[in-house]
Chain A
Amino acid sequence: MNKFNAAVMSVVVVAMLGMSLPVHAGIVGTEQMVTEQTRTVALDKINGVLASDAVAAQLEAWDVPAAVVAERVAALSDQELQELAGSIETDPAGGVLAVIGVVFVVLVILELVGVTNIFNRT
Chain B
Amino acid sequence: MFIRATISCLLVLAMAGCAAGPEHLVLRAAGEPVELVDVPFFAQDEFQCGPAALATVLVHEGIEVTPQALKPQIYIPGRRGSLQAELLAATRRHGRVPYILPASLAPMLEEVRAGRPVLLLQNLGLERWPVWHYAVLVGFDPERDRFMLRSGTTQRLQTRAPAYLARWDRAGRWSMVVVSPSDPPVSADVLGWLRAVAPFESTGNLDVAAEGYEAAVRRWPDEAIAWTALGNVRYLQQDLHAAEESYTRALSISDSLWTARNNLVNTLVDRGCVGLADPWIRSAGEPPPEFATTWQQTLTDVAAAEELSCDRSESQQEQDQRLTASDEFPSQPVPQ
A68 nearest CB neighbor, chain B only: B72
B239 located at the interface, meaning its Cβ lies under 8 Å from any Cβ of chain A in the complex: no
Stretch from B58-66, B158-166, B313-321, B326-334 at the A interface = B158-166
CB distance from A39 to the nearest CB of B (A): 8
Contact (A96, B124) CB under 8 Å given A27-B232, A77-B203, A111-B163: yes
Task: List A contacts of B184 (CB < 8 A).
Answer: none
A90 nearest CB neighbor, chain B only: B130
Contact, CB under 8 Å: A92 / B171? yes
Contact (A27, B263) CB under 8 Å given A33-B229, A118-B16: yes
Q: Which of B179-218 contact A (CB under 8 A)?
A: 191, 194-195, 197-199, 201-203, 209, 213
A11 located at the interface, meaning its Cβ lies under 8 Å from any Cβ of chain B in the complex: no
Task: List A contacts of B122 (CB < 8 A).
Answer: 94
Contact, CB under 8 Å: A34 / B297? no
CB distance from A35 to the nearest CB of B (A): 7
Which of A25, A40, A63, A113 is in CB contact (< 8 Å) with B77?
Answer: A63
Contact, CB under 8 Å: B132 / A30? no
CB distance from B233 to the nearest CB of A (A): 7
**Distance of A78 Cα from B203 Cα, bound (Å):** 8
Contact, CB under 8 Å: B14 / A114? yes
Between A65, A80, A103, A120, the greatest number of chain B beta carbons within 10 A of the residue's beta carbon is seen for: A120
B169 located at the interface, meaning its Cβ lies under 8 Å from any Cβ of chain A in the complex: yes
**Distance of A78 Cα from B199 Cα, bound (Å):** 8
Task: List A contacts of B75 (CB < 8 A).
Answer: 64
- Number of interface residues, chain B, beta carbon within 8 A: 93
B34 located at the interface, meaning its Cβ lies under 8 Å from any Cβ of chain A in the complex: no
A26 located at the interface, meaning its Cβ lies under 8 Å from any Cβ of chain B in the complex: yes
Task: List B contacts of A83 (CB < 8 A).
Answer: 85
CB distance from B171 to the nearest CB of A (A): 7
Contact, CB under 8 Å: A28 / B168? no
**Distance of A58 Cα from B132 Cα, bound (Å):** 19
Contact (A112, B50) CB under 8 Å given A33-B225, A94-B134, A96-B132: no
Contact, CB under 8 Å: B201 / A92? no
A101 located at the interface, meaning its Cβ lies under 8 Å from any Cβ of chain B in the complex: no
B272 located at the interface, meaning its Cβ lies under 8 Å from any Cβ of chain A in the complex: no
B114 located at the interface, meaning its Cβ lies under 8 Å from any Cβ of chain A in the complex: no
Which of A41, A79, A98 is in CB contact (< 8 Å) with B294?
Answer: A41
